[in-house]
Amino acid sequence: MAYGVKSLDWQWDELLQVDRPSQMAEIKRRDTRISAALKLVRCGESSRAARVLTSTELSPPTQETARKLRSKHPSATTKPNLDLPNTSHLIVLSKQLLFKVIRESPHGSGAGPSGWRFEHFKVLIENETIADVLFACSVIAGGSLPHPMSEFLASARLIALSKQNRDIRPIAIGECLRRISAGAICLQKSKGFHSYFWPIQHKVSMKCGSEMLFHCCAISRLLP
């Protein structure tokens, strides 16, 4: 009888050993998610912290995941031949508006390919090095960057989230310097954008633009 109990204990230990790697991986994913949520809470981003706790998990870093990402982002066969205006002159962005964009940028946001985050630029403006950041953003706004640099700033870090149907949801994280420059341009040229693009766009220089579109769509469904 003692031999039978010993055999049963050995089998139970073996089963635990088989399932232990998956349990450890699940615990590690849970701890990583909790750590990320706590970091956002400390930055005052409670809503984003809640989304982190309830969001889907990252897809495994496998060749299959890379293949799915490439299938959703096919490379262009030919480069677009656009007749763009000559913007080689330097556009001087407003220092106050650039300050506003950097200070109001979200805390704990993901980094692009360079690894730079919005927090890095907040430190720069606090140390009175805003002149260098302003010059770099003005060069980007003027379109006078060298082609390799402009291609890099236009790139994004691509990650994959798992979906319930075994597919993936690609998430692209762009460069912070480009995002800051675009935000400053939108604020500085908001009136011109509004008059030129109206009624096509409802984002730049439009208060509650998303809500307006939502209610318009809801009302249109009620109309005969």
Report pLDDT for 10: 47
The residue type at 127: N
Give residue-wise pLDDT tens across range 85-128. Answer: 565 566 788 888 998 999 888 887 888 889 898 888 888 887 76
Cα–Cα distance for residue pair 103/46, rounded to 1 Å: 18
- 212-217: long-range contacts, CB 8 A cutoff, minimum separation 24: none
Q: 27 by DSSP, 3-state: which?
A: helix
CA distance 144 to 151: 12
Average pLDDT for 168-181 = 90
Its sign, for the CA torsion 76, 78, 79, 81, is negative
- Do the bridges between strand 156-162 and strand 168-174 make them parallel or antiparallel, or are there none, so unpaired? antiparallel
Among 219, 214, 188, smallest CA distance to 202 is for 214
Question: What DSSP character marks residue 199?
Answer: T
- Mean pLDDT rounded to a whole number for the chain: 77
* Angle (CA) 161 163 169, round 5°: 45
Query: Which residue's structure tokens are 């615990």?
Result: 27
C-beta separation of 157 from 111 below 8 A = yes
Residue type, 189: K
**For residue 82, is pLDDT > 60?**
no
| Lookup result for tokens 């109990």 | 5
Q: How confident is the model at residue 23 (pLDDT cuts 50, 70, 90)?
A: low
Domain map (residue ranges) of the chain:
11-55, 57-72+87-188, 195-224
Which residues touch 156 (CB under 8 Å, ≥6 apart)?
112, 113, 172, 173, 174, 175
- Does the pTM surpass 0.75? The reply is no
Determine contact, residues 102/118, Cβ cutoff 8 Å. Answer: yes
Contacts of 194 (CB under 8 A, 6+ apart): 204, 205, 206
pLDDT tens digits, one per residue of 25-57: 667 767 777 787 788 788 777 777 777 777 777
